[in-house]
Chain A
Amino acid sequence: MRLKYLLSVLLAAGLSTAAFANPYEMTLKNGMRVIVKEDRRAPTAVQMVWYRIGSTDEVDGASGVAHVLEHMMFKGTPNVGPGEFNKRVAAAGGRDNAFTSRDYTAYFQQVPKEKLPEMMQLEADRMRHLNVDAKEFAQEIKVVMEERRMRTDDNPQSKLFEQMNAVAFQAHPYRRPIIGWMNDLETMTAADAKAWYDTWYVPNNAYAIITGDVDHKEVFALAEKYYAPLEGRPLPVRKQQIEPVQEGTRKVTVKAPAELPVIIMGYKAPILRDIEKDSDPYALEMLASILDGHDAARFNKKLVREDKVALSAGIDYDATARGPGMIYLHGSPSEGKTVGDLETALRAEISRVQKEGVSEQELKRAKAQLIAGQVYKLDSMFGQAMEIGQIEAVGLPYQKLDRMLDKLQKVTAADIQSVAKKYFNDDALTIGVLDPQPLDSKPRRPAAGSRH
């Protein structure tokens, strides 16, 4: 049966739990899991190895070490010299890279399918045998500082976001930037990176995802060969860190060279922990889609197009994370408007949902977009591996991805109105404002402006 027919059956059945074996999964005796999603569209394969370790596991004074170690993972083992990893992937006709988030660190290669065994061998080698050489570290830490300058220090909006999180979270480690504070990078040593590696880079803290034109049985055999000999080790206990309840609005201003003011309003929001029992995160996701899911969604239609109070306005909410959640409203005011005007307008839109709810038409539209998105996502093998990796990283089973979609499809207009009333609460609000500064002596538009 061709995939498209399978899919239409699936979609017609309201995306009920798939009864297919694909993806396939096994657990090695050292505790490492291997997930294989066969997709025979083209003769290529993706390997991703995910470690359940991210910046949230760092401690004060060592912020950024998870990401620095990610850079060091390309600096060699006794078998593979510094820089050799990239060279071998390139020689195989592949592309590789890695990324670090608050919750996880992941490494990937995209290769012609016959090169997959070599990639698994390489990835297994650096899982337990990395050299953290002091000389290599001394160069690489400078690269990371340049990365921080590029991504954050010279990017006013990133800086605002960094500062906002540092204010919104006081106890929880989400208050620290993933890339680390500059001073922590300056004082970091090779020994810090080595200690991080030794503690967390073990097979029982990792899982591999392979998608593409592969046979899962062959991939399992390769995993037995390369990953299974690596010894597991008990991990340190990770104590749960709970952010105390916020008891009043917080405000932070960042001054930086820029033209346009920016406002971000971040509210503490729930995270999906129990796929069956939780309901609010699903309703908030649908609310976000109704407010900002397409060009005529409420924010763009009302704030940008009709009232012209904003040059842009959006909402960001991620229902999955290991730590606490936030829902962010953000935008830049139009010429002649202030961030205060935009704040009032954003609040008015939330208040409209609280009072009047959303229409069935809007809800239906958001659900149609979700269904189509499920087809489009299959166009990317990398995207399919990412989806599995991310959901597993927060401790939810990938087998329930379809069930989550099902739950989203069941959200009602009343559910949305109810979460709008529950979570957009001033006491749980942090407001961040970018106050643009002139590059030279020319005055800029004022960012400040009283509300109401």
Chain B
Amino acid sequence: MKRLLTAAIALFISHAALAGVKIEHWVTPSGARVQFVESRVLPMLDVQVDFAAGSMFDPEGKSGLAALTRGALDLGAGKFDETAIAEQMADIGASLAGGADTDRASVSLRTLSAKEKREPALNILKSVLHAPLFDAAIFEREKARTIAGLKEAMTRPDSIAGKAFWAAMYPNHPYGRQATPESVAALSRDDLAAHHARYYNAANASISLVGDISRAEAEMIAEAIAAGLPKSEAATLPNAPDKPKWSLTQLAHPASQAHVYIGLPAIERGNPDFFPLLVGNYTLGGGGFVSRLMKEVRDKRGYAYSVYSYFAPLKQTGPFQIGLQTKRSQAKDALKVTREVLTDFLKDGPSDDELAAAKANLTGSFPLRLDSNKKILDNVANIGFYGLSLDYLDQYQAKVQAVTADDVRKAFARQVRPENLITVTVAAD
């Protein structure tokens, strides 16, 4: 299946000089989904493998398992010990990256595309994905480092606020559970091996490749990655989260600034309200320096350096979030102004001028979303992992253009109900 971005972009760009970002998609014989963009300009290759293996799959009482499993993958695998992996990657100027979030565990590789560089790099990548050792001594070391990091995070006002916010938004869903020193201390090396065996399989994988290789080469690489993965089934999702009841959590902290979060679980990836919410949120708090929140909270009153709102659709209902930091003595005032801005927006939606400005930016900035291999990789990995339609990028500008003010009001009315809003403050007087 081949789709051209060029057509969509040509509508908006006067000189359609873009060579064409063409996403090729197929499923490997082993059952892994693949996205490939051939880009021959620079002699480099990016590969990202995403698994539905994020923290939402941590069993109750074992929070932290997904992150620790991902972290331990490249600390010894197949015939390579952790030193060999790092040294041999460095020898060829390649590097491994990635991590685990709520939904996915990712392993990415950036390498030069010349065969004598790329092949050893891909061999290490395959070992890391297929045969991680989960060495017991290394596991204990990483566990201790993780626990220390969690204890440190528990002293930071932004981390404390973030954890409390997610816990309050998702009281009965894995998104609300988070690693603690205790939950990590209870993990064993075998838990990691079991998590890997269960979730790092082909049916659960999305492989994205961008760079200086041919389609035939991409097919071979993808299948070699997929074929050696543990044999298992696609992950099954828990029940979708409920909407919580309105609540306010106030936590004490000695910091000079209060951290304020307001939000609720809003939409999952692929929800039809996504484009109206995206366009509307640009005016509310997504449009950088030109949003209403920025104008009222920062420009007019000097309450905050950073104030924003965003929707983060996830595999299951992901959050809508407003955030700011302000001097602790004025937290109440800043919170009041923020709530007024939100209430007004929910009532009236964007003005005609605001709607036009939002569309102009979101469509006009589209080329900036795709002007490097790294950005193209991020986009196609998202499309692949979340199963978005392959013409998502082709359709993006038209879908933004089609949004009306009424669409925005209705989508916000459906997804951002005041009776479900969670507020968390840390260090507010």
Tell me the chain B residues, 105-163 only, with Cβ under 8 Å from chain A: 110, 112, 117, 138, 141, 144-145, 147-149, 151-152, 154-155, 157
Q: Pick the interface stretch among A197-205, A230-238, A254-262.
A: A254-262
> Smallest CB-CB separation from A7: which chain B residue?
B43
Q: Is B41 an interface residue (CB 8 A)?
A: yes
Q: Is B14 an interface residue (CB 8 A)?
A: yes
Q: Bound complex: CA of A332 vs CA of B152, how far in Å? A: 11
Q: Is A369 an interface residue (CB 8 A)?
A: yes
One of B91, B95, B300 near A365 (C-beta < 8 A): B91
Please, which residues of chain A bring their CB within 8 A of the CB of B254?
257, 439
Q: Is A59 an interface residue (CB 8 A)?
A: no
Contact: A439 with B253, CB < 8 Å?
yes
Contact: B41 with A41, CB < 8 Å?
yes
Q: Bound complex: CA of A7 vs CA of B114, how far in Å? A: 12
Contact: B299 with A305, CB < 8 Å?
no
Please, which residues of chain A bring their CB within 8 A of the CB of B304?
143, 146
Q: Is B333 an interface residue (CB 8 A)?
A: no
Interface-centre pick from A82, A86, A436 (highest chain B CB count, 10 A): A86
One of B74, B112, B255, B363 near A372 (C-beta < 8 A): B112
Q: What is the total number of residues of chain B having a CB less than 8 Å from a CB of chain A?
A: 78
Contact: A259 with B155, CB < 8 Å?
yes
Contact: A146 with B257, CB < 8 Å?
yes
Q: Is A21 an interface residue (CB 8 A)?
A: no
Contact: B365 with A257, CB < 8 Å?
no
One of B42, B326, B361 near A375 (C-beta < 8 A): B42
Interface-centre pick from A111, A293, A335, A379 (highest chain B CB count, 10 A): A379
Q: Bound complex: CA of A378 vs CA of B113, how far in Å? A: 14
Please, which residues of chain A bring their CB within 8 A of the CB of B90?
293-294, 296-297, 365-366, 368-369
Known: A8-B43, A40-B17, A41-B371. A93 touches B148 (CB 8 A): no
Known: A296-B90, A365-B87, A365-B91. A139 touches B18 (CB 8 A): no
Q: Bound complex: CA of A282 vs CA of B364, how far in Å? A: 43
Please, which residues of chain B bring their CB within 8 A of the CB of A406?
none
Q: Is A308 an interface residue (CB 8 A)?
A: yes
B419 to chain A, nearest CB (A): 31
Q: Is B413 an interface residue (CB 8 A)?
A: no
Contact: A380 with B289, CB < 8 Å?
no
Flag B74-102 by CB within 8 Å of A: 1 or 0 each.
10000000111111011111110000000
Known: A40-B17, A94-B365, A296-B83. A149 touches B287 (CB 8 A): no
Q: Is B366 an interface residue (CB 8 A)?
A: yes
Q: Bound complex: CA of A115 vs CA of B373, how far in Å? A: 23
Contact: A379 with B253, CB < 8 Å?
no
Q: Is A391 an interface residue (CB 8 A)?
A: no
Contact: A260 with B290, CB < 8 Å?
no
Please, which residues of chain B bring their CB within 8 A of the CB of A192?
none
Q: Is A74 an interface residue (CB 8 A)?
A: yes
Contact: A91 with B361, CB < 8 Å?
yes
Q: Is B367 an interface residue (CB 8 A)?
A: yes
Q: Is A278 an interface residue (CB 8 A)?
A: no
Known: A112-B13, A311-B149, A375-B112. A3 touches B360 (CB 8 A): no
One of B87, B152, B325, B327 near A296 (C-beta < 8 A): B87
Q: Bound complex: CA of A311 vs CA of B70, how far in Å? A: 18
Q: How large is the interface on A (under 10, 10 to 19, 20 to 34, 35 or more residues)?
A: 35 or more
Q: Is A171 an interface residue (CB 8 A)?
A: no
Flag A81-99 by CB within 8 Å of B: 1 or 0 each.
0110011001111111000
Contact: A258 with B152, CB < 8 Å?
yes
Contact: A154 with B255, CB < 8 Å?
yes
Contact: B13 with A311, CB < 8 Å?
no
Q: Is A103 an interface residue (CB 8 A)?
A: no
Contact: A83 with B290, CB < 8 Å?
yes
Contact: B93 with A368, CB < 8 Å?
yes
Q: Bound complex: CA of A96 vs CA of B361, how far in Å? A: 12
A22 to chain B, nearest CB (A): 14
Q: Is A43 an interface residue (CB 8 A)?
A: yes
Contact: B83 with A334, CB < 8 Å?
no
Q: Is A349 an interface residue (CB 8 A)?
A: no
Contact: B364 with A112, CB < 8 Å?
yes
Contact: A150 with B13, CB < 8 Å?
no
> Smallest CB-CB separation from A75: which chain B residue?
B299
A432 to chain B, nearest CB (A): 18
> Smallest CB-CB separation from B9: which chain A residue?
A43
Q: Bound complex: CA of A8 vs CA of B116, how far in Å? A: 14
A311 to chain B, nearest CB (A): 5
Please, which residues of chain A bring their CB within 8 A of the CB of B1?
none
B341 to chain A, nearest CB (A): 16
A438 to chain B, nearest CB (A): 9
A405 to chain B, nearest CB (A): 13
Q: Is B8 an interface residue (CB 8 A)?
A: no
Q: Bound complex: CA of A41 vs CA of B374, how far in Å? A: 13
> Smallest CB-CB separation from B301: which chain A residue?
A139
One of B92, B151, B212 near A368 (C-beta < 8 A): B92
> Smallest CB-CB separation from B151: which chain A residue?
A259
Contact: B374 with A95, CB < 8 Å?
no
Please, which residues of chain A bring their CB within 8 A of the CB of B298?
143
One of A92, A113, A141, A301 near B302 (C-beta < 8 A): A141
Contact: B288 with A95, CB < 8 Å?
yes
One of A3, A96, A110, A146 near B325 (C-beta < 8 A): A146
Q: Is A213 an interface residue (CB 8 A)?
A: yes
Known: A3-B41, A112-B365, A375-B42. A146 touches B155 (CB 8 A): no
Please, which residues of chain B bring their CB within 8 A of the CB of A375?
42-44, 112
> Smallest CB-CB separation from B298: which chain A residue?
A143
Contact: B290 with A90, CB < 8 Å?
yes
Q: Is B368 an interface residue (CB 8 A)?
A: yes
Q: Bound complex: CA of A17 vs CA of B215, how far in Å? A: 36
Contact: A93 with B93, CB < 8 Å?
no
A12 to chain B, nearest CB (A): 11
> Smallest CB-CB separation from B377: which chain A residue?
A379
Q: Is A20 an interface residue (CB 8 A)?
A: no
Q: Bound complex: CA of A63 vs CA of B45, how far in Å? A: 45
Q: Bound complex: CA of A305 vs CA of B84, how far in Å? A: 13
Q: Is A153 an interface residue (CB 8 A)?
A: yes
Contact: A2 with B41, CB < 8 Å?
yes
Known: A83-B295, A112-B368. A259 touches B302 (CB 8 A): no
Contact: B40 with A2, CB < 8 Å?
yes
Tell me the chain A residues, 132-159 only, with Cβ under 8 Å from chain B: 138-147, 149-150, 153-154
Please, which residues of chain A bring their CB within 8 A of the CB of B212?
4
Q: Bound complex: CA of A106 vs CA of B240, how far in Å? A: 47
One of B18, B89, B148, B288 near A260 (C-beta < 8 A): B148
One of A41, A257, A365 near B255 (C-beta < 8 A): A257
Flag B300-320 by CB within 8 Å of A: 1 or 0 each.
111111100000000000000
Besides A257-B255, A308-B144, A335-B147, 10 other A-B contacts (C-beta < 8 A): A41-B371, A43-B17, A44-B371, A86-B288, A90-B287, A92-B364, A142-B302, A149-B256, A154-B257, A259-B152
Question: Can you offer 9 A-B residue contacts whose CB atoms are under 8 A?
Answer: A44-B368, A115-B364, A146-B325, A150-B306, A257-B253, A260-B152, A293-B90, A295-B86, A305-B82
